[in-house]
Amino acid sequence: MKEEVLIVKIGGNIIDDAHKLDAFLDDFAGIEGPKILVHGGGKVATAIGAQLGLEPQYVDGRRITDKETLSLVTMVYGGLVNKNMVAALQSRNCNAIGLTGADGNMVRASKRPVKEVDYGYVGDVGSDGVNSALLSMMLDSGLVPVIAPLTHNGSGDMLNTNADTMSREIACALATTMQVKLIYCFEQKGLLRDMHDEHSIIPRVDSALFDELKKDGVVSGGMIPKLENALQAARQQVSMVVIGHAAELTGLIAGKAGTRLTNTN
Amino acid sequence: MKEEVLIVKIGGNIIDDAHKLDAFLDDFAGIEGPKILVHGGGKVATAIGAQLGLEPQYVDGRRITDKETLSLVTMVYGGLVNKNMVAALQSRNCNAIGLTGADGNMVRASKRPVKEVDYGYVGDVGSDGVNSALLSMMLDSGLVPVIAPLTHNGSGDMLNTNADTMSREIACALATTMQVKLIYCFEQKGLLRDMHDEHSIIPRVDSALFDELKKDGVVSGGMIPKLENALQAARQQVSMVVIGHAAELTGLIAGKAGTRLTNTN
Protein backbone atom coordinates (compact mmCIF):
# COMPACT_ATOMS: atom_id res chain seq x y z
CA MET A 1 0.00 0.00 0.00
CA LYS A 2 1.19 3.46 -0.88
CA GLU A 3 2.23 5.78 1.91
CA GLU A 4 -0.29 8.53 2.61
CA VAL A 5 0.35 12.26 2.62
CA LEU A 6 -1.99 15.12 3.39
CA ILE A 7 -1.61 18.48 1.61
CA VAL A 8 -3.54 21.44 3.01
CA LYS A 9 -3.72 24.80 1.33
CA ILE A 10 -4.75 27.91 3.25
CA GLY A 11 -5.32 31.38 1.87
CA GLY A 12 -5.21 34.97 2.96
CA ASN A 13 -8.52 34.91 4.81
CA ILE A 14 -6.97 32.71 7.51
CA ILE A 15 -3.49 34.22 7.42
CA ASP A 16 -4.89 37.71 7.98
CA ASP A 17 -6.88 36.71 11.07
CA ALA A 18 -4.67 35.83 14.05
CA HIS A 19 -7.48 34.07 15.90
CA LYS A 20 -8.51 31.91 12.92
CA LEU A 21 -4.89 31.17 12.12
CA ASP A 22 -4.18 30.02 15.69
CA ALA A 23 -7.19 27.71 15.65
CA PHE A 24 -6.22 26.32 12.25
CA LEU A 25 -2.60 25.72 13.32
CA ASP A 26 -3.82 23.89 16.44
CA ASP A 27 -5.87 21.57 14.23
CA PHE A 28 -3.16 21.14 11.60
CA ALA A 29 -0.45 20.42 14.19
CA GLY A 30 -2.69 17.76 15.75
CA ILE A 31 -3.03 15.70 12.57
CA GLU A 32 -1.00 12.49 12.60
CA GLY A 33 1.14 11.33 9.71
CA PRO A 34 3.01 12.94 6.81
CA LYS A 35 1.62 16.35 5.89
CA ILE A 36 2.40 19.51 3.95
CA LEU A 37 1.00 23.01 4.34
CA VAL A 38 0.87 25.40 1.38
CA HIS A 39 -0.01 28.98 2.18
CA GLY A 40 -1.02 32.03 0.20
CA GLY A 41 -0.11 35.58 0.95
CA GLY A 42 -2.88 37.61 2.44
CA LYS A 43 -3.41 41.30 2.78
CA VAL A 44 -0.16 41.84 4.68
CA ALA A 45 1.76 41.98 1.37
CA THR A 46 -0.59 44.63 0.03
CA ALA A 47 -0.38 46.57 3.30
CA ILE A 48 3.41 46.50 3.40
CA GLY A 49 3.53 47.24 -0.33
CA ALA A 50 1.38 50.34 0.24
CA GLN A 51 3.77 51.51 2.97
CA LEU A 52 6.61 51.03 0.49
CA GLY A 53 4.72 53.05 -2.12
CA LEU A 54 3.80 50.09 -4.33
CA GLU A 55 0.38 50.17 -5.99
CA PRO A 56 -0.88 46.67 -6.76
CA GLN A 57 -1.75 46.25 -10.42
CA TYR A 58 -4.28 43.72 -11.62
CA VAL A 59 -5.31 42.46 -15.05
CA ASP A 60 -8.41 40.24 -15.13
CA GLY A 61 -8.24 39.87 -11.35
CA ARG A 62 -4.67 38.58 -11.48
CA ARG A 63 -1.91 40.56 -9.91
CA ILE A 64 0.93 41.77 -12.11
CA THR A 65 4.30 40.96 -10.55
CA ASP A 66 6.81 43.65 -11.51
CA LYS A 67 10.35 43.60 -10.09
CA GLU A 68 9.37 45.56 -6.95
CA THR A 69 6.34 43.37 -6.33
CA LEU A 70 8.51 40.29 -6.71
CA SER A 71 10.82 41.59 -3.96
CA LEU A 72 7.77 42.38 -1.85
CA VAL A 73 6.23 38.91 -2.13
CA THR A 74 9.62 37.22 -1.73
CA MET A 75 10.08 38.94 1.61
CA VAL A 76 6.49 38.84 2.82
CA TYR A 77 5.43 35.36 1.65
CA GLY A 78 8.87 33.69 1.85
CA GLY A 79 10.00 35.51 5.01
CA LEU A 80 7.38 37.09 7.25
CA VAL A 81 4.35 34.85 6.67
CA ASN A 82 6.29 31.63 6.17
CA LYS A 83 8.66 31.94 9.12
CA ASN A 84 6.04 33.14 11.59
CA MET A 85 3.93 30.14 10.64
CA VAL A 86 6.89 27.79 11.01
CA ALA A 87 7.69 29.20 14.46
CA ALA A 88 4.03 28.89 15.46
CA LEU A 89 3.92 25.24 14.34
CA GLN A 90 7.21 24.49 16.10
CA SER A 91 5.63 25.76 19.34
CA ARG A 92 2.89 23.14 18.76
CA ASN A 93 5.41 20.29 18.47
CA CYS A 94 5.01 20.17 14.71
CA ASN A 95 8.43 19.95 13.06
CA ALA A 96 7.73 22.51 10.35
CA ILE A 97 10.31 23.54 7.76
CA GLY A 98 9.59 26.59 5.63
CA LEU A 99 10.36 26.38 1.94
CA THR A 100 9.94 28.22 -1.31
CA GLY A 101 10.25 26.49 -4.66
CA ALA A 102 13.87 27.66 -4.88
CA ASP A 103 14.90 25.81 -1.72
CA GLY A 104 16.48 22.52 -2.63
CA ASN A 105 15.17 23.20 -6.16
CA MET A 106 11.79 22.04 -4.87
CA VAL A 107 9.58 23.66 -7.51
CA ARG A 108 11.03 24.99 -10.72
CA ALA A 109 8.95 27.14 -13.03
CA SER A 110 9.17 29.18 -16.23
CA LYS A 111 8.35 32.85 -16.43
CA ARG A 112 4.93 33.06 -18.04
CA PRO A 113 5.28 33.97 -21.73
CA VAL A 114 3.96 37.41 -22.66
CA LYS A 115 0.84 37.15 -24.83
CA GLU A 116 -1.92 39.75 -24.48
CA VAL A 117 -0.80 40.44 -20.94
CA ASP A 118 2.66 40.60 -19.40
CA TYR A 119 2.11 39.17 -15.92
CA GLY A 120 5.71 39.92 -15.04
CA TYR A 121 7.63 37.62 -12.68
CA VAL A 122 4.99 34.92 -12.54
CA GLY A 123 6.04 31.30 -12.73
CA ASP A 124 4.22 28.45 -14.47
CA VAL A 125 5.27 25.04 -13.20
CA GLY A 126 6.20 22.55 -15.91
CA SER A 127 5.36 18.87 -15.94
CA ASP A 128 8.61 17.86 -14.21
CA GLY A 129 8.92 21.01 -12.09
CA VAL A 130 8.33 19.43 -8.69
CA ASN A 131 11.23 17.74 -6.89
CA SER A 132 9.22 15.02 -5.21
CA ALA A 133 12.37 13.20 -4.04
CA LEU A 134 13.21 16.16 -1.80
CA LEU A 135 9.69 16.30 -0.38
CA SER A 136 9.67 12.54 0.21
CA MET A 137 12.99 12.75 2.04
CA MET A 138 11.65 15.48 4.30
CA LEU A 139 8.41 13.64 5.00
CA ASP A 140 10.37 10.46 5.76
CA SER A 141 12.41 12.47 8.28
CA GLY A 142 9.27 13.62 10.07
CA LEU A 143 9.56 17.16 8.76
CA VAL A 144 6.43 19.09 7.80
CA PRO A 145 7.07 21.28 4.74
CA VAL A 146 5.40 24.70 4.97
CA ILE A 147 5.45 26.05 1.45
CA ALA A 148 5.25 29.67 0.31
CA PRO A 149 3.76 30.38 -3.14
CA LEU A 150 7.10 31.17 -4.77
CA THR A 151 9.10 29.24 -7.35
CA HIS A 152 12.36 29.86 -9.20
CA ASN A 153 13.41 29.56 -12.82
CA GLY A 154 16.83 27.97 -12.34
CA SER A 155 18.46 31.08 -13.78
CA GLY A 156 18.59 33.02 -10.55
CA ASP A 157 15.11 34.55 -10.48
CA MET A 158 12.43 33.95 -7.90
CA LEU A 159 8.93 33.80 -9.40
CA ASN A 160 5.46 34.42 -7.97
CA THR A 161 3.20 31.37 -8.33
CA ASN A 162 -0.45 31.02 -7.36
CA ALA A 163 -0.80 28.97 -4.17
CA ASP A 164 -3.74 26.90 -5.47
CA THR A 165 -1.71 25.94 -8.54
CA MET A 166 1.36 25.19 -6.44
CA SER A 167 -0.69 22.88 -4.18
CA ARG A 168 -2.06 21.04 -7.20
CA GLU A 169 1.34 20.65 -8.84
CA ILE A 170 2.84 19.27 -5.64
CA ALA A 171 -0.13 16.96 -5.07
CA CYS A 172 0.02 15.58 -8.61
CA ALA A 173 3.78 15.03 -8.44
CA LEU A 174 3.56 13.17 -5.12
CA ALA A 175 0.54 11.18 -6.34
CA THR A 176 2.76 9.15 -8.67
CA THR A 177 4.29 7.41 -5.63
CA MET A 178 2.05 8.26 -2.67
CA GLN A 179 -1.62 8.28 -1.76
CA VAL A 180 -2.41 11.99 -1.62
CA LYS A 181 -5.27 13.86 0.06
CA LEU A 182 -5.50 17.49 -1.04
CA ILE A 183 -7.59 19.91 1.01
CA TYR A 184 -8.28 23.44 -0.22
CA CYS A 185 -9.43 25.67 2.62
CA PHE A 186 -11.40 28.79 1.77
CA GLU A 187 -14.07 31.08 3.24
CA GLN A 188 -17.03 28.74 2.89
CA LYS A 189 -18.06 25.34 4.17
CA GLY A 190 -17.96 23.99 0.65
CA LEU A 191 -19.26 24.88 -2.75
CA LEU A 192 -22.71 26.36 -2.13
CA ARG A 193 -25.62 26.06 -4.52
CA ASP A 194 -27.03 29.22 -2.92
CA MET A 195 -24.29 31.54 -1.65
CA HIS A 196 -26.69 32.94 0.98
CA ASP A 197 -27.41 29.51 2.44
CA GLU A 198 -24.41 27.85 4.02
CA HIS A 199 -26.36 24.60 4.33
CA SER A 200 -26.65 24.32 0.54
CA ILE A 201 -23.29 22.58 0.22
CA ILE A 202 -22.89 20.53 -2.94
CA PRO A 203 -21.28 17.33 -1.63
CA ARG A 204 -19.59 16.17 -4.85
CA VAL A 205 -18.60 17.92 -8.05
CA ASP A 206 -17.19 16.38 -11.22
CA SER A 207 -16.29 18.09 -14.49
CA ALA A 208 -19.79 17.74 -15.93
CA LEU A 209 -21.43 19.29 -12.87
CA PHE A 210 -18.75 21.99 -12.80
CA ASP A 211 -19.64 22.98 -16.37
CA GLU A 212 -23.33 23.17 -15.41
CA LEU A 213 -22.56 25.23 -12.30
CA LYS A 214 -20.50 27.64 -14.37
CA LYS A 215 -23.31 27.98 -16.89
CA ASP A 216 -25.83 28.62 -14.12
CA GLY A 217 -23.57 31.23 -12.55
CA VAL A 218 -23.28 29.25 -9.28
CA VAL A 219 -19.53 29.20 -9.83
CA SER A 220 -17.93 32.42 -11.01
CA GLY A 221 -14.91 34.73 -10.63
CA GLY A 222 -11.99 33.44 -8.58
CA MET A 223 -13.83 30.19 -7.82
CA ILE A 224 -13.41 29.06 -11.42
CA PRO A 225 -9.60 28.71 -11.43
CA LYS A 226 -9.74 27.32 -7.86
CA LEU A 227 -12.13 24.55 -8.88
CA GLU A 228 -10.27 23.91 -12.13
CA ASN A 229 -7.11 23.32 -10.07
CA ALA A 230 -8.98 20.99 -7.75
CA LEU A 231 -10.62 19.04 -10.60
CA GLN A 232 -7.32 18.71 -12.42
CA ALA A 233 -5.79 17.18 -9.28
CA ALA A 234 -8.70 14.72 -9.04
CA ARG A 235 -8.11 13.70 -12.66
CA GLN A 236 -4.39 13.16 -12.03
CA GLN A 237 -4.26 10.37 -9.45
CA VAL A 238 -4.77 12.53 -6.35
CA SER A 239 -6.95 10.17 -4.36
CA MET A 240 -9.08 12.73 -2.56
CA VAL A 241 -9.61 16.42 -3.28
CA VAL A 242 -11.85 18.44 -0.98
CA ILE A 243 -12.67 22.11 -0.73
CA GLY A 244 -14.12 23.57 2.46
CA HIS A 245 -13.77 25.75 5.52
CA ALA A 246 -10.50 25.81 7.46
CA ALA A 247 -12.42 25.62 10.74
CA GLU A 248 -13.61 22.13 9.73
CA LEU A 249 -10.21 20.71 8.82
CA THR A 250 -10.61 17.33 10.53
CA GLY A 251 -14.08 16.90 9.01
CA LEU A 252 -12.74 17.73 5.55
CA ILE A 253 -9.97 15.16 5.91
CA ALA A 254 -12.43 12.53 7.11
CA GLY A 255 -14.69 13.22 4.12
CA LYS A 256 -17.47 14.43 6.44
CA ALA A 257 -17.46 18.09 5.42
CA GLY A 258 -16.89 20.26 2.38
CA THR A 259 -17.25 19.55 -1.31
CA ARG A 260 -15.39 16.65 -2.83
CA LEU A 261 -14.03 17.06 -6.36
CA THR A 262 -14.15 13.82 -8.29
CA ASN A 263 -13.02 12.40 -11.56
CA THR A 264 -15.99 10.60 -13.01
CA ASN A 265 -15.69 11.51 -16.65
CA MET B 1 38.41 9.93 9.52
CA LYS B 2 35.70 12.46 10.22
CA GLU B 3 33.72 13.86 7.34
CA GLU B 4 34.63 17.45 6.50
CA VAL B 5 32.31 20.43 6.29
CA LEU B 6 33.01 24.02 5.35
CA ILE B 7 31.07 26.87 6.95
CA VAL B 8 31.38 30.31 5.39
CA LYS B 9 29.93 33.45 6.91
CA ILE B 10 29.37 36.57 4.81
CA GLY B 11 28.22 39.96 6.02
CA GLY B 12 26.42 43.01 4.75
CA ASN B 13 29.39 44.45 2.87
CA ILE B 14 29.10 41.65 0.30
CA ILE B 15 25.31 41.31 0.36
CA ASP B 16 24.92 45.04 -0.39
CA ASP B 17 27.18 44.95 -3.45
CA ALA B 18 25.67 42.97 -6.37
CA HIS B 19 29.01 42.67 -8.15
CA LYS B 20 30.91 41.40 -5.09
CA LEU B 21 28.06 39.05 -4.22
CA ASP B 22 28.03 37.53 -7.71
CA ALA B 23 31.78 36.94 -7.60
CA PHE B 24 31.53 35.43 -4.13
CA LEU B 25 28.65 33.13 -5.12
CA ASP B 26 30.63 31.95 -8.16
CA ASP B 27 33.50 31.00 -5.86
CA PHE B 28 31.29 29.46 -3.18
CA ALA B 29 29.28 27.41 -5.70
CA GLY B 30 32.54 26.06 -7.14
CA ILE B 31 33.78 24.58 -3.87
CA GLU B 32 33.51 20.80 -3.72
CA GLY B 33 32.14 18.89 -0.76
CA PRO B 34 29.70 19.57 2.08
CA LYS B 35 29.30 23.26 2.83
CA ILE B 36 27.09 25.76 4.62
CA LEU B 37 26.64 29.49 4.03
CA VAL B 38 25.59 31.79 6.87
CA HIS B 39 24.67 35.32 5.89
CA GLY B 40 24.11 38.57 7.72
CA GLY B 41 21.60 41.22 6.79
CA GLY B 42 23.10 44.25 5.15
CA LYS B 43 21.82 47.73 4.66
CA VAL B 44 18.74 46.59 2.77
CA ALA B 45 16.94 45.94 6.08
CA THR B 46 17.74 49.47 7.26
CA ALA B 47 16.66 50.91 3.89
CA ILE B 48 13.36 49.03 3.84
CA GLY B 49 12.86 49.82 7.54
CA ALA B 50 13.29 53.53 6.78
CA GLN B 51 10.65 53.28 4.02
CA LEU B 52 8.35 51.63 6.56
CA GLY B 53 9.03 54.44 9.04
CA LEU B 54 11.21 52.37 11.39
CA GLU B 55 14.14 54.16 13.01
CA PRO B 56 16.89 51.73 13.94
CA GLN B 57 17.81 51.94 17.60
CA TYR B 58 21.22 50.98 18.89
CA VAL B 59 22.69 50.54 22.38
CA ASP B 60 26.48 50.07 22.54
CA GLY B 61 26.54 49.49 18.76
CA ARG B 62 24.01 46.66 18.99
CA ARG B 63 20.69 47.01 17.36
CA ILE B 64 17.58 46.80 19.52
CA THR B 65 15.01 44.44 18.06
CA ASP B 66 11.53 45.63 18.91
CA LYS B 67 8.46 43.84 17.54
CA GLU B 68 8.42 45.87 14.31
CA THR B 69 12.14 45.36 13.75
CA LEU B 70 11.70 41.63 14.30
CA SER B 71 9.07 41.56 11.52
CA LEU B 72 11.42 43.59 9.35
CA VAL B 73 14.42 41.29 9.78
CA THR B 74 12.24 38.18 9.49
CA MET B 75 11.07 39.32 6.08
CA VAL B 76 14.29 40.86 4.83
CA TYR B 77 16.85 38.37 6.17
CA GLY B 78 14.64 35.26 6.09
CA GLY B 79 12.82 36.17 2.86
CA LEU B 80 14.38 38.68 0.51
CA VAL B 81 18.11 38.19 1.16
CA ASN B 82 17.94 34.46 1.83
CA LYS B 83 15.73 33.45 -1.10
CA ASN B 84 17.49 35.62 -3.65
CA MET B 85 20.78 34.05 -2.56
CA VAL B 86 19.29 30.55 -2.79
CA ALA B 87 17.95 31.25 -6.30
CA ALA B 88 21.34 32.66 -7.33
CA LEU B 89 23.15 29.56 -6.03
CA GLN B 90 20.63 27.25 -7.72
CA SER B 91 21.46 28.95 -11.03
CA ARG B 92 25.11 27.98 -10.34
CA ASN B 93 24.25 24.30 -9.89
CA CYS B 94 24.61 24.57 -6.13
CA ASN B 95 21.67 22.84 -4.43
CA ALA B 96 21.05 25.56 -1.85
CA ILE B 97 18.26 25.37 0.71
CA GLY B 98 17.42 28.49 2.68
CA LEU B 99 16.78 28.11 6.39
CA THR B 100 16.24 30.11 9.53
CA GLY B 101 16.74 28.60 12.96
CA ALA B 102 13.00 27.92 13.17
CA ASP B 103 13.01 25.66 10.12
CA GLY B 104 13.18 22.05 11.22
CA ASN B 105 13.96 23.44 14.70
CA MET B 106 17.50 23.96 13.42
CA VAL B 107 18.65 26.58 15.94
CA ARG B 108 16.69 27.21 19.09
CA ALA B 109 17.48 30.20 21.28
CA SER B 110 16.28 32.04 24.36
CA LYS B 111 15.24 35.65 24.38
CA ARG B 112 18.13 37.54 25.93
CA PRO B 113 17.35 38.37 29.57
CA VAL B 114 16.87 42.06 30.33
CA LYS B 115 19.72 43.43 32.47
CA GLU B 116 20.91 47.02 31.97
CA VAL B 117 19.63 46.91 28.39
CA ASP B 118 16.54 45.32 26.87
CA TYR B 119 17.75 44.16 23.48
CA GLY B 120 14.23 43.05 22.60
CA TYR B 121 13.65 40.01 20.41
CA VAL B 122 17.27 38.89 20.37
CA GLY B 123 18.08 35.21 20.75
CA ASP B 124 21.01 33.68 22.60
CA VAL B 125 21.70 30.12 21.50
CA GLY B 126 22.04 27.63 24.35
CA SER B 127 24.54 24.79 24.55
CA ASP B 128 22.19 22.28 22.91
CA GLY B 129 20.42 24.78 20.66
CA VAL B 130 21.73 23.51 17.32
CA ASN B 131 19.99 20.55 15.65
CA SER B 132 23.09 19.04 14.07
CA ALA B 133 21.20 15.88 13.04
CA LEU B 134 19.07 17.97 10.66
CA LEU B 135 22.12 19.70 9.18
CA SER B 136 23.94 16.37 8.78
CA MET B 137 20.95 14.88 6.99
CA MET B 138 20.85 17.80 4.58
CA LEU B 139 24.59 17.69 3.93
CA ASP B 140 24.39 13.92 3.35
CA SER B 141 21.68 14.59 0.75
CA GLY B 142 23.92 17.02 -1.12
CA LEU B 143 21.95 20.05 0.02
CA VAL B 144 23.77 23.28 0.84
CA PRO B 145 22.13 25.07 3.79
CA VAL B 146 21.98 28.85 3.38
CA ILE B 147 21.25 30.18 6.82
CA ALA B 148 19.70 33.51 7.79
CA PRO B 149 20.62 35.02 11.17
CA LEU B 150 17.30 34.21 12.80
CA THR B 151 16.42 31.70 15.51
CA HIS B 152 13.24 30.79 17.36
CA ASN B 153 12.39 30.20 21.00
CA GLY B 154 10.16 27.15 20.64
CA SER B 155 7.23 29.18 21.95
CA GLY B 156 6.23 30.66 18.63
CA ASP B 157 8.57 33.66 18.44
CA MET B 158 11.25 34.28 15.86
CA LEU B 159 14.38 35.88 17.33
CA ASN B 160 17.15 37.99 15.82
CA THR B 161 20.58 36.41 16.30
CA ASN B 162 23.98 37.77 15.31
CA ALA B 163 25.29 35.98 12.19
CA ASP B 164 28.85 35.65 13.59
CA THR B 165 27.48 33.99 16.71
CA MET B 166 25.16 31.77 14.70
CA SER B 167 28.09 30.59 12.53
CA ARG B 168 30.14 29.79 15.63
CA GLU B 169 27.30 27.90 17.33
CA ILE B 170 26.67 25.81 14.21
CA ALA B 171 30.40 25.17 13.71
CA CYS B 172 30.87 24.07 17.33
CA ALA B 173 27.83 21.78 17.24
CA LEU B 174 28.95 20.09 14.01
CA ALA B 175 32.54 19.83 15.28
CA THR B 176 31.52 17.11 17.74
CA THR B 177 31.05 14.70 14.82
CA MET B 178 32.66 16.36 11.80
CA GLN B 179 35.88 18.08 10.85
CA VAL B 180 34.82 21.72 10.50
CA LYS B 181 36.46 24.63 8.70
CA LEU B 182 34.92 27.99 9.60
CA ILE B 183 35.64 31.02 7.40
CA TYR B 184 34.56 34.50 8.45
CA CYS B 185 34.54 36.86 5.49
CA PHE B 186 34.81 40.58 6.16
CA GLU B 187 36.07 43.80 4.56
CA GLN B 188 39.79 43.15 4.99
CA LYS B 189 42.31 40.58 3.86
CA GLY B 190 42.83 39.52 7.45
CA LEU B 191 43.51 41.09 10.79
CA LEU B 192 45.84 44.00 10.06
CA ARG B 193 48.51 45.25 12.43
CA ASP B 194 48.28 48.60 10.65
CA MET B 195 44.79 49.29 9.32
CA HIS B 196 46.26 51.52 6.59
CA ASP B 197 48.54 48.78 5.28
CA GLU B 198 46.73 45.81 3.81
CA HIS B 199 49.98 43.85 3.66
CA SER B 200 50.33 43.95 7.44
CA ILE B 201 48.18 40.84 7.89
CA ILE B 202 48.76 39.00 11.15
CA PRO B 203 48.86 35.36 10.01
CA ARG B 204 47.91 33.70 13.31
CA VAL B 205 46.18 34.93 16.43
CA ASP B 206 45.62 33.06 19.67
CA SER B 207 43.96 34.29 22.89
CA ALA B 208 47.20 35.71 24.30
CA LEU B 209 47.95 37.70 21.15
CA PHE B 210 44.29 38.79 20.97
CA ASP B 211 44.56 40.26 24.49
CA GLU B 212 47.72 42.13 23.46
CA LEU B 213 46.11 43.42 20.28
CA LYS B 214 43.12 44.66 22.25
CA LYS B 215 45.44 46.43 24.74
CA ASP B 216 47.37 48.06 21.89
CA GLY B 217 44.15 49.19 20.20
CA VAL B 218 44.89 47.16 17.05
CA VAL B 219 41.60 45.37 17.66
CA SER B 220 38.64 47.50 18.69
CA GLY B 221 34.92 48.07 18.20
CA GLY B 222 32.98 45.46 16.28
CA MET B 223 36.15 43.44 15.65
CA ILE B 224 36.27 42.42 19.32
CA PRO B 225 33.09 40.30 19.38
CA LYS B 226 33.89 38.98 15.88
CA LEU B 227 37.30 37.72 17.00
CA GLU B 228 35.92 36.45 20.30
CA ASN B 229 33.47 34.32 18.32
CA ALA B 230 36.25 33.05 16.09
CA LEU B 231 38.58 32.25 19.00
CA GLN B 232 35.81 30.49 20.89
CA ALA B 233 35.23 28.26 17.85
CA ALA B 234 38.96 27.47 17.70
CA ARG B 235 38.89 26.47 21.37
CA GLN B 236 35.87 24.20 20.81
CA GLN B 237 37.12 21.56 18.38
CA VAL B 238 36.57 23.53 15.17
CA SER B 239 39.63 22.39 13.27
CA MET B 240 40.32 25.58 11.32
CA VAL B 241 39.02 29.10 11.86
CA VAL B 242 40.06 31.83 9.43
CA ILE B 243 39.05 35.44 8.98
CA GLY B 244 39.68 37.27 5.71
CA HIS B 245 38.35 38.86 2.54
CA ALA B 246 35.47 37.25 0.64
CA ALA B 247 37.30 37.84 -2.65
CA GLU B 248 39.98 35.39 -1.49
CA LEU B 249 37.66 32.55 -0.47
CA THR B 250 39.64 29.71 -2.01
CA GLY B 251 42.88 31.04 -0.51
CA LEU B 252 41.26 31.31 2.91
CA ILE B 253 40.05 27.72 2.73
CA ALA B 254 43.48 26.52 1.63
CA GLY B 255 45.12 28.33 4.54
CA LYS B 256 46.99 30.61 2.14
CA ALA B 257 45.24 33.87 2.98
CA GLY B 258 43.68 35.67 5.90
CA THR B 259 44.29 35.39 9.63
CA ARG B 260 43.99 32.03 11.31
CA LEU B 261 42.58 31.92 14.83
CA THR B 262 44.19 29.23 16.92
CA ASN B 263 43.81 27.59 20.27
CA THR B 264 47.26 27.48 21.78
CA ASN B 265 46.48 28.30 25.39
What CATH number is associated with residue A172? 3.40.1160.10
Which residues in chain B have their CB less than 8 angstroms from residue A105's CB? 90, 95
Distance between CA atoms of residues B227 and B206, nearest Å? 10
Which residues in chain A have their CB less than 8 angstroms from residue B71's CB? 80
- What pLDDT is stored for residue A12 in this prediction? 86
* pTM (2 d.p.): 0.96
Nearest residue of B to residue A85 by CA position?
B156
Asked if A96 lies within 8 A of B102 by C-beta distance, the reply is: yes
Q: Which of B15, B37, B83, B143 is the best residue to mutate to test the A interface, defined by the most A CB atoms within 10 Å of its own CB?
A: B83
Quick check: helix, strand or coil at residue B21? helix
Distance between CA atoms of residues A55 and A115, nearest Å? 23
Q: Does any CB of chain B come closer than 8 Å to the CB of residue A44?
A: no
The length of chain A in residues reads: 265
Report CA torsion sign: A211, A213, A217, A223.
negative
Q: What is the pLDDT of residues A146-200, one digit of tens each?
A: 999 999 999 999 999 999 999 999 999 999 999 999 999 998 999 999 989 989 9
Q: Which of B80, B107, B138 is the best residue to mutate to test the A interface, defined by the most A CB atoms within 10 Å of its own CB?
A: B80
Whether A96 contacts A67, CB under 8 Å? no
Q: Which domain holds residue A99?
A: 4-261
Q: What is the pLDDT of residues B150-181, one digit of tens each?
A: 999 999 999 999 999 999 999 999 999 999 99
Domain count of the fold of chain A: 1
- The C-alpha of B105 sits at a distance from chain A's nearest C-alpha, in angstroms, of 7
Q: Does any CB of chain A come closer than 8 Å to the CB of residue B131?
A: no
Q: What is the pLDDT of residues A91-106, one digit of tens each?
A: 999 999 999 999 999 9
* ipTM summary value: 0.96
Answer whether residue B244 shows pLDDT above 70: yes
Q: Does any CB of chain A come closer than 8 Å to the CB of residue B137?
A: yes
Mutual orientation of helices A223-235 and A207-215 as an angle, nearest 10°? 170
Asked if B79 lies within 8 A of A84 by C-beta distance, the reply is: no
The length of chain B in residues reads: 265
Q: Does any CB of chain A come closer than 8 Å to the CB of residue B90?
A: yes
Answer whether residue B209 shows pLDDT above 60: yes
For residue A107, with 0-12 CB atoms within 10 Å meaning exposed, 13-18 middle and 19 or more buried, which class applies?
buried
Which residues in chain A have their CB less than 8 angstroms from residue B105's CB? 90, 95
Whether A118 contacts B54, CB under 8 Å? no
**Which residues sit opposite A183 in a β-bridge?**
A8, A242
- What pLDDT is stored for residue A55 in this prediction? 86
